[in-house]
């Protein structure tokens, strides 16, 4: 099977990732995202974004629905309580002082959506980051990944979007500090390589299919790759873990850390292919469970993938060489004793003394990529705000209970002490967490 071939499947699915991108360019040039540059960060709450039911359609539309789910279009292009694909979801820029941007309406409404876009214009936007108007898009819309997608697959997505009911809705204007587009000429010259995915003849069809999904439509690197000062992905650290702003609770945006997806010992190295595939399909395995931004990824997207596709993605991810091992730290005897006491008081009942987690109660802390992530934001968030599975999750039997918030039970110093204990126990490796790190996440 060619890596771009759609496997046999009854219904489509969708994938996510939160793209951080707004472009920061040289002196005087600004950052901006206009209405036609739909961002890919966060996404509408999973429970609110069921795709519209369609009557039996032609095969191209059915294929396009599957692929649109593979790109998780619905999460970013649906505001809370809004109609699917009508846009209006607000995103905080990586540097929050720059303001907020709103996703666009991608229904076929001719005035407020993409109803007047031709197939050629749609493909051009996805492949090159140039909108129907000829204006340059900013990489908050991940054309840097979508450029890898075949033209035929993009035509199928276009056919699906054009088959949706047109909805007249104009998203709010973007409230950002700068709006110049011309600097994108230089940003693209430095950081963007246009071109389709080229299968690796030395690898299997399954591996190539996985690479095509992970690197292209899935745009996993948008969240899982560190970025430079211009907010471009750093190729040398590809998929080794990144950060992005997203919701921690209603009305509050904080940083989240995306885990290392390479075979590093602090990433997916200890996970067998079957465990990776199971997590992608259900949001749960014996090592981890979904919470935070990954709720949108699994619930709105990955659960709809075929078993063959989640397996292919897992095969590809498992093949990645280790990159970006987390730093180690050494605790003093007093620090370790204080951390152990906090663990015993707040964590041990569910996560056990062994750190392996109690059946039906809590996931393992030992070996957790979240606990060991280079950036501790998601670990801190789970302690401050709890870890909750979103509505509509496909969690199988054996999934754990939601974790409660400890924000009012521990000080910043205590949470930092506990986090450092967790990041250095049971052979875990993780850099030091300071009270100021915790304060930033409150």
Instruction: State residue 55's pLDDT score.
Output: 60
pLDDT at 276 over 90: yes
Q: How many domains does the chain have?
A: 2
One domain for residues 308 and 355: no
Of 17 and 96, the structure prediction assigns the larger pLDDT to: 96
Task: Give the chain's end-to-end CA distance (angstroms, integer).
Answer: 49
Asked whether residue 149 is assigned to any structural domain, the reply reads yes
Residues 313 and 338 in one domain: no
- pLDDT tens for 153-193 read 999 999 999 999 999 999 998 777 666 778 889 999 999 99
> Does any domain span residue 38?
no
Regarding whether 337 and 418 lie in a shared domain, the answer is: yes
What sign does the CA torsion over 25, 26, 29, 30 have?
positive
User: Residues 104-121: what's their mean pLDDT?
Assistant: 97
Q: Model confidence over 234-268: pLDDT tens digits?
A: 999 999 999 988 889 888 889 999 999 999 999 99
- What DSSP string runs through 130-186? B-TTSPBPPTTS-HHHHTTS-HHHHHHHHHHHHHSPP----PPPPEES----TTHHH
Nearest Cα residue to 99 out of 305, 239, 253, 231: 253
Domain end residue (candidates: 287, 319, 351): 319
Please report whether residue 62 resides in a domain: yes
pLDDT band of 50, cuts 50, 70, 90: low
Q: In this structure, what token pair is assigned to residue 95?
A: 């540097």
Are residues 389 and 300 part of one domain?
no
What range defines the domain where residue 352 resides? 333-441
State the CB neighbour count (10 A cutoff) for residue 250: 6
Residues 193 and 302 in one domain: yes
Claim to verify: residue 340 and residue 310 sit in the same structural domain: no
pTM of the model: 0.86
Q: Are 359 and 300 within one domain?
A: no
CATH of the domain at 431: 1.10.760.10
- Any domain includes 3: no
Give yes or no: residues 313 and 353 share one domain: no
In tens, the pLDDT along 369-425 reads 999 999 999 999 999 999 999 888 887 776 888 999 999 999 999 999 999 999 999
Q: Are residues 273 and 360 in the same domain?
A: no
The verdict on residue 28 lying in a domain is no
* Residues 372 and 285 both lie in one domain: no
Query: Are residues 245 and 220 part of one domain?
Result: yes
Checking if the pLDDT of 22 tops 60, the result is no
Q: Is the pLDDT of residue 96 over 60?
A: no
Of 264, 288, 319, which one is at a domain's C-terminal end?
A: 319
Identify whether residues 191 and 274 lie together within a single domain: yes
């Amino acid at each position: 099977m060619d890596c771009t071939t759609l496997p046999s499947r009854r219904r489509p699915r969708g994938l996510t990732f939160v793209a951080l991108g707004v472009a920061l360019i040289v002196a005087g040039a600004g950052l901006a995202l206009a209405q036609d540059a739909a961002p890919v960060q966060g996404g509408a709450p999973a429970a609110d974004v069921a795709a519209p039911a369609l009557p039996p359609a032609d095969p191209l539309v059915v294929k396009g629905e599957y692929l649109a789910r593979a790109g998780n279009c619905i999460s970013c292009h649906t505001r809370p309580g809004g109609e699917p694909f009508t846009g209006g979801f607000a995103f905080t820029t990586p540097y929050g002082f720059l303001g907020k941007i709103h996703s666009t309406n991608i229904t076929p409404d001719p005035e407020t959506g993409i109803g007047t876009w031709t197939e050629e214009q749609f493909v051009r936007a996805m492949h090159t980051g140039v909108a129907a108007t000829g204006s340059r898009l900013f990489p908050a819309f991940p054309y840097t990944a979508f450029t890898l997608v075949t033209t035929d697959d993009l035509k199928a997505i276009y056919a699906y979007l054009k088959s949706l009911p047109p909805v007249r809705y104009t998203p709010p204007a973007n409230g950002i500090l700068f709006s110049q587009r011309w600097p994108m000429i230089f940003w693209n010259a430095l950081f963007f390589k246009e071109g389709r995915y080229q299968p690796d003849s030395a690898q299997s069809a399954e591996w190539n299919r996985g690479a095509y999904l992970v690197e292209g439509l899935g745009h996993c690197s948008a969240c899982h790759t560190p970025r430079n000062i211009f907010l471009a992905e750093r190729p040398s650290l590809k998929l080794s873990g990144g950060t992005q702003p997203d919701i921690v609770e209603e009305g509050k945006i904080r940083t989240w850390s995306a885990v290392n997806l390479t075979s590093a010992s602090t990433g997916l190295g200890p996970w067998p292919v079957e465990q990776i595939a199971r997590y992608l399909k259900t949001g749960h395995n014996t090592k981890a469970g979904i919470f935070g931004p990954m709720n949108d990824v699994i619930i709105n997207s990955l659960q709809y993938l075929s078993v063959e596709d989640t397996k292919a993605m897992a095969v590809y991810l498992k093949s990645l060489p280790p990159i970006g091992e987390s730093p180690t730290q050494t605790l003093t005897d007093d620090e370790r004793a204080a951390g152990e006491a906090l663990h015993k008081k707040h964590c041990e009942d569910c996560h056990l003394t062994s750190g392996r987690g109690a059946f039906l109660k809590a996931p393992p802390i030992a070996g957790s990529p979240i606990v060991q992530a280079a950036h501790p934001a998601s670990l801190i968030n789970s302690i401050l705000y709890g870890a909750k599975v979103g509505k509509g999750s496909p969690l199988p039997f054996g999934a754990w209970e939601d974790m409660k918030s400890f924000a009012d039970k521990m000080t910043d110093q205590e949470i930092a002490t506990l986090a450092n204990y967790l990041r250095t126990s049971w052979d875990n490796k993780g850099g030091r967490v300071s009270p100021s790190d915790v304060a930033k996440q409150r």
